[in-house]
Chain A
Amino acid sequence: MAIVLYRVDERLIHGQVVIGWGHELRPEAYLLVDDELAESEWEQELYRLGAGAVPVDFASVEEARRRLGEWREDARRSILLTRDIRTMRRLGQDRLLAGASVNLGGIHHGPGRTEVLRYLHLTEEDREDLRSLTEEGAEIAARDLPDAPRVPLSTLLKD
């Protein structure tokens, strides 16, 4: 499978992804799934800057759902990123992410969010979305960097 990492990270492409995961997984493309970003050229320009020489593809959720099979069969190794959990859930609806490991990277604190890990702050809706993604077959765990401990969803949602 050519998508080597599915990750939720509100910062999308940044140091942890490019240096931390990039050195480990050597991606040949980043796939950014985000409805607003897919429409916004000036923002795409900025996110491309962070990826260095690695090309970046932008897609809306709907387009991503159509192209997921193609991406998976692509010879290029790619990292797929969404900025929030809701987008990943919409991408995975109808078991599209069944069997895939979904990595929770970074969601920082804000209104309505409670700290689950130092780098992970969840709302009630986030928790609901995560449960639904699991029910549809995705395997979810948090890990900010490749050498950090992997924290499975069952531990994250234990109150």
Chain B
Amino acid sequence: MSRSLPTGVVVSAFVRSLAIQGSWNYRTMLGSGFAFALLPGLRHLYGGASDEIRVPVERHLEHFNAHPYLAGVALGAVLRLEADGADPEMVRRLKLAIRGPLGSLGDALIWATVLPGVALAALTLAWLGAPAWVVVTVFLVLYNAVHVVLRIWGFRAGMRAGREVGRVLAGADLAGWTRRIEPVVVLLLGALVGAVVGGAGGLVEAGAPWLALTAVAFLVGLFGGHRTWRPAAVLTVVAIGAVTLIGGLT
């Protein structure tokens, strides 16, 4: 049994997928959000009455997790399989198998690479004196070009490939894209550091002691990694408090 889904149902599922993290929770993570996004499709396939739809909805309330931009890959594939009348156990196994890669591929590509890259580009522009609206426009347009394309591509890839979506994901080589973009992000990071050190109102103008302190802080982050973030933030706040107190006394 294979049934086609009306455009309205497909569009509705996609739009709902934008809010798939709306009821994020530690028990089922995106489980309830996944069922919420799938609901228009399930209503169309199984009928709207509560006793008809109860079992299919319950199947999709289970634990699910993914990067939000790639969750649509799973959603599309599951919609396809539900429309094809696939075995529920197989659908469940697809969701179990795909959540790991959709999380790790998306985290590496988006959170660890594209987002910092675009933010660095916008920060460098801002530091060089670009007007605020230019900075914000560049950031939002560049970032969301990647974001929106990825969402639409993923959802459609899932809808088309169904169970075989793993092959499509492997072919798209998201990990390869991450590796290729990473050096560009490093270049942008270097550019921002260069602009902040050498530019007008930069650290060179502030004086050698400030420059030295900043260099030390950079090395602490470089060799200490993420565990240095919180102490650094706490120290910053404490330092600001201390300078304020000293300033108040003199």
List chain A positions with a Cβ less than 8 A from chain B.
10-15, 18-19, 36, 40, 42-43, 45-50, 52-53, 108-109
Taking CB atoms, residues of chain A closer than 8 Å to B60 are none
Taking CB atoms, residues of chain A closer than 8 Å to B166 are 42-43, 45-46, 48-49
List chain B positions with a Cβ less than 8 A from chain A.
27, 63, 93-94, 96-101, 103-105, 107, 163-167, 169-170, 175
Measured in the bound complex, the distance between the Cα atoms of B57 and A47 in whole Å is 26
**Smallest distance from the beta carbon of B34 to chain A beta carbons, Å?**
16
Taking CB atoms, residues of chain B closer than 8 Å to A46 are 94, 97-98, 101, 165-166, 169
Measured in the bound complex, the distance between the Cα atoms of B170 and A86 in whole Å is 31
Measured in the bound complex, the distance between the Cα atoms of B65 and A14 in whole Å is 11
The interface residues of chain B, by DSSP majority, are classed as helix
**Smallest distance from the beta carbon of A27 to chain B beta carbons, Å?**
15
Taking CB atoms, residues of chain A closer than 8 Å to B97 are 43, 46-47
Known: A43-B93, A108-B63. A50 touches B175 (CB 8 A): no
Q: List 19 A-B contacts (CB under 8 A).
A: A13-B100, A14-B103, A15-B100, A42-B163, A42-B164, A43-B94, A43-B97, A45-B166, A46-B97, A46-B101, A47-B100, A48-B166, A48-B170, A49-B101, A49-B169, A50-B100, A50-B104, A52-B104, A109-B27
Taking CB atoms, residues of chain B closer than 8 Å to A48 are 166, 170
The answer to whether B163 touches A15, judged by C-beta atoms less than 8 angstroms apart, is no
**Smallest distance from the beta carbon of B11 to chain A beta carbons, Å?**
27
Known: A52-B175, A108-B63. A12 touches B100 (CB 8 A): yes
Task: Using A11-B100, A43-B97, A108-B63 as known contacts, list a sample of 7 further A-B pairs with CB atoms less than 8 Å apart, ordered by residue number in A.
Answer: A13-B100, A14-B103, A42-B163, A45-B170, A47-B97, A49-B105, A109-B27
Identify the closest chain A residue to B105 (Cβ).
Answer: A49
Known: A42-B163, A42-B164. A50 touches B101 (CB 8 A): yes
Measured in the bound complex, the distance between the Cα atoms of B105 and A14 in whole Å is 10
Measured in the bound complex, the distance between the Cα atoms of B98 and A48 in whole Å is 10
Taking CB atoms, residues of chain B closer than 8 Å to A109 are 27
The answer to whether A14 touches B170, judged by C-beta atoms less than 8 angstroms apart, is no
Measured in the bound complex, the distance between the Cα atoms of B100 and A12 in whole Å is 9
Identify the closest chain A residue to B63 (Cβ).
Answer: A108
Measured in the bound complex, the distance between the Cα atoms of B166 and A13 in whole Å is 14
Measured in the bound complex, the distance between the Cα atoms of B244 and A50 in whole Å is 50
**Smallest distance from the beta carbon of B90 to chain A beta carbons, Å?**
9
The answer to whether A14 touches B104, judged by C-beta atoms less than 8 angstroms apart, is yes
Measured in the bound complex, the distance between the Cα atoms of B169 and A52 in whole Å is 12
Measured in the bound complex, the distance between the Cα atoms of B103 and A49 in whole Å is 11
Measured in the bound complex, the distance between the Cα atoms of B167 and A10 in whole Å is 22
Measured in the bound complex, the distance between the Cα atoms of B103 and A14 in whole Å is 8
Measured in the bound complex, the distance between the Cα atoms of B175 and A45 in whole Å is 15
The answer to whether B105 touches A15, judged by C-beta atoms less than 8 angstroms apart, is no
**Smallest distance from the beta carbon of A50 to chain B beta carbons, Å?**
4
The answer to whether B164 touches A15, judged by C-beta atoms less than 8 angstroms apart, is no
